[in-house]
Amino acid sequence: MKQEFRLVLGVDEIADELADSLFEAGFDDSHVIRSGGRICIVVDDRDTTDLENAIRVAVEAAQSIGVTVSHVEIPAVEHINAELAAN
């Protein structure tokens, strides 16, 4: 099953060298975006049935190249959170 999640990073910019390092660290199924003023790695093509493990592996991979991950977002849950907040 394909899983999607975002690692929100503690960096202000992504230089080409960092993007290359992310790719080499295993983020070849991902892309880097700026969302809400924050830099995020969007992992949207990871095939796994264990979402928690996939997220932990991705966080460890990012941290292994010196990137700080501030938090994780799961888009499939974000709309539910928004609905709950509206009530």
What is the side-by-side order of every strand in the sheet holding 38-47?
30-35, 38-47, 2-9, 69-73
Please give the distance of CA 76 from its chain centroid, rounded to a whole number.
Answer: 13
13: confidence class by pLDDT, cuts 50, 70, 90: confident
Query: What pLDDT digit, counting tens, does each position of 30-75 carry?
Result: 999 998 889 999 998 777 788 899 999 999 999 999 999 999 998 8
Phi-psi region of 18 (alpha: psi -120 to 50; beta: other; left: phi over 0): alpha
Domains and CATH numbers, the chain: 2-86 (3.30.70)
Alpha helices in 25-74 (DSSP H): 51-64
Residue 1 has pLDDT above 80, yes or no: no
Degrees to nearest 5, angle at CA 19 with 30 and 10: 85
Q: Where are the alpha helices (DSSP H) in the chain?
A: 16-24, 51-64, 75-86
